[in-house]
């Protein structure tokens, strides 16, 4: 296990003055990062996980949990340590955040030809299985956390996994938040609260997003970011884009 401490009062979250104007004014905690490798015996699979936690004097009862899934990284590894503008930020706001490495160097590459909903489905299934395994392991090691209000977040290919998860494993996630799931359809149900941020440049495949009527029927919230492209939703986002995305995330999480 590797452990480091982020001091988030300034710096990582842009500047303190800008930050305080753009998001709510809850205390900003220092954040610890623990990296570990879980092992799913049933699938004989290693699952690297980064755990971001606020540094507090004592454990918080019913602390909210966020599970994060990265976009496709071509099996290079280390993607679970990216997106710290979101993962470390949410931890600084008091959330317990687990970021999962979904791709291993030994995995097959994501198919770039064929019908995505068919050829990529096994990769999303594996991601959903990874998410479930991590959740179950966290329940063993951190039973004091609030797993009744679990939020799952993902970007791009990780967003497709996120969209699939409550459909494959119902009654576990309380909320899902996707950043540009373009292939896997969002669930149409009131059993889970569904939110999605959409890029300015890459549309979703037909049938992936619910119609306006379906959004009203199921309480789904979809928001387009007019100045943020698909590839700028990760660590390529500039300060203004990060600020906007974090504001929406806090709004969704606090609803």
Query: For 136-190, what is each residue's pLDDT tens digit?
Result: 999 999 999 999 999 999 999 999 999 999 999 999 999 999 999 999 999 999 9
> Which architecture, in CATH terms, is 2-254?
3-Layer(aba) Sandwich (3.40)
Stretches where the chain sits below pLDDT 50 are 7-21
Distance, in Å, from the CA atom of 108 to the CA atom of 139, rounded to the nearest integer, reads 30
Distance, in Å, from the CA atom of 127 to the CA atom of 124, rounded to the nearest integer, reads 5
Sequence ranges of the domains in the chain:
2-254
> How many other β-carbons are positioned within 10 Å of the β-carbon of residue 55?
14
Q: pTM score, two decimals?
A: 0.91
User: Per the structure block, which two tokens stand in for 173?
Assistant: 């996630």
CA-closest candidate to residue 195, choices 171, 178, 211, 215: 178
Query: For 235-254, what is each residue's pLDDT tens digit?
Result: 999 999 999 999 999 999 99
Beta-strand ranges (E) seen in the chain are: 2-6, 31-40, 45-54, 64-69, 96-100, 146-155, 175-179, 193-198, 221-224
CA-closest candidate to residue 192, choices 213, 168, 209, 172: 172
Question: Quick check: 49 and 113 in contact, CB under 8 A?
Answer: no
CA-closest candidate to residue 137, choices 100, 179, 189, 92: 100
What's the confidence (pLDDT) of residue 226? 97
């Amino acid at each position: 296990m590797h452990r480091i401490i982020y001091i988030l009062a300034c710096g990582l979250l842009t500047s303190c003055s800008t930050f305080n104007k753009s998001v709510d004014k809850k205390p900003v905690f220092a954040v610890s990062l623990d990296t570990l490798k879980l092992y799913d015996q049933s699938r004989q699979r290693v699952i690297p996980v980064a755990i971001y936690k606020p540094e507090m004097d004592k454990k918080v009862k019913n602390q909210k949990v966020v599970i994060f899934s990265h976009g496709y990284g071509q099996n290079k590894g280390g993607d679970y340590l990216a997106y710290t503008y979101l993962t470390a930020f949410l931890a600084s706001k008091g959330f317990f955040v687990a970021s999962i490495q979904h791709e291993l160097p030994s995995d097959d590459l994501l198919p770039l030809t064929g019908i995505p909903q068919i050829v990529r489905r096994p990769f999303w299934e594996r991601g959903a299985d990874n998410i479930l395994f991590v959740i179950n392991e966290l329940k063993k090691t951190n039973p004091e956390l609030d797993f009744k209000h679990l939020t799952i977040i993902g970007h791009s290919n990780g967003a497709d996994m996120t969209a699939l998860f409550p459909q494959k494993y119902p009654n576990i996630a309380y909320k899902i938040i996707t950043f540009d799931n373009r292939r896997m359809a969002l669930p149409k149900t009131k059993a889970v609260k569904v939110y999605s941020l959409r890029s300015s440049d890459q549309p979703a495949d037909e049938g992936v997003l619910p119609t306006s009527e379906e959004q009203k029927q199921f309480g789904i919230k979809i928001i387009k970011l007019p100045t943020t492209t698909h590839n700028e939703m990760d660590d390529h986002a500039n300060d203004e884009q990060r600020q906007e995305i974090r504001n929406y995330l806090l709004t969704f999480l606090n609803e």
